[in-house]
A and B are shown apart, each in its own frame.
Chain A
Amino acid sequence: NPIYDSKSPNASNLKISRMDKTCGSVMGGDEIFLLCDKVQKDDIDIRFYEEDEEGGWEAFGDFSPTDVHKQYAIVFKTPPYHKTEIERPVTVFLQLKRKKGGDCSEPKQFTYIPQVQDKEEVQRKRMK
């Protein structure tokens, strides 16, 4: 039987404690502050995903190792949703995922909001 060191960041459980936002633009690029249990700055991904019968979708939050603060917080930008033309909000999941080993945290929900389409305004600009 393998013996795990539960204090080592590689073996401890991943957990998202808190996020400053749980919704954002379907275009992505929203900055989010995420507070979490101990992570290694070069061995962690933030995976956005959706599961469906056709295989689903995944994309990753954008951050560099310097955006990981003292192993317990990450500042990242949201990825765009796979289709930017949505009529109503779409809720997906995100989780922390180790690059090596691939273990994951429990997911949290994130809601993509449609772009505000001011059709009249667009029309007016086109007229110019």
Chain B
Amino acid sequence: NPIYDKKATTTAELKINRLNVVRGPCTGKTEVYMLCDKVQKDDIEIIFSLDDWEAKAEFAHTDVHRQIAIVFKTPPYQEQDVSGEVEVNVSLRRISDRMYSEPVRFTYLPHNPDPYEVNRK
């Protein structure tokens, strides 16, 4: 039987503690601060998913702060013309062993090309 070191960042359980923003446009590019348990900056991905769809959030190694926070940009949702809000899952995934954290929710909002409702007036 293999023995796992629960404290080592290469095998420890992944956990998302908190996001500063949990809603954003379906076009993506929302900046989000995530607080998490220890991760390795070169062995971690943030996966947005719903059913068959998945997309990776965008961040650089320098956006991983002291192993416990990641500042990233949301990926665009698969469709840009959603008519209502869409709730998706956000998880950490370790690249080396494909282990996932428990998901947290993020809500994509419909893209409104006329935010000030100029056309309606």
Residue in B35, B37, B38, B66 whose beta carbon sits within 8 Å of that of A33 in the complex: B35
- Does A17 lie at the interface of the complex (its beta carbon under 8 Å from any beta carbon of B)? yes
| Max chain A C-beta neighbours (<10 A), residue from B17, B33, B37 | B33
By a beta-carbon cutoff of 8 Å, the part of chain A in contact with chain B is: 17-18, 20, 31, 33, 35, 37-38, 69-70, 72-73, 75
- A72/B18 contact (C-beta < 8 A), A18-B71, A33-B35 known: no
Given A31-B20, A33-B20, A69 and B68 contact (CB-CB distance below 8 Å): yes
Q: Is A73 a contact partner of B20 (Cβ separation < 8 A)? A: no
B residues near A (Cβ < 8 Å) are 17-18, 20-21, 31, 33, 35, 37-38, 65-66, 68-69, 71
Bound form: Cα–Cα A18–B71 in Å: 10
CA distance A73 to B67 in the complex (A): 11
Q: Within the assembled complex, what's the spacing in Å between the Cα atoms of A65 and B71?
A: 22
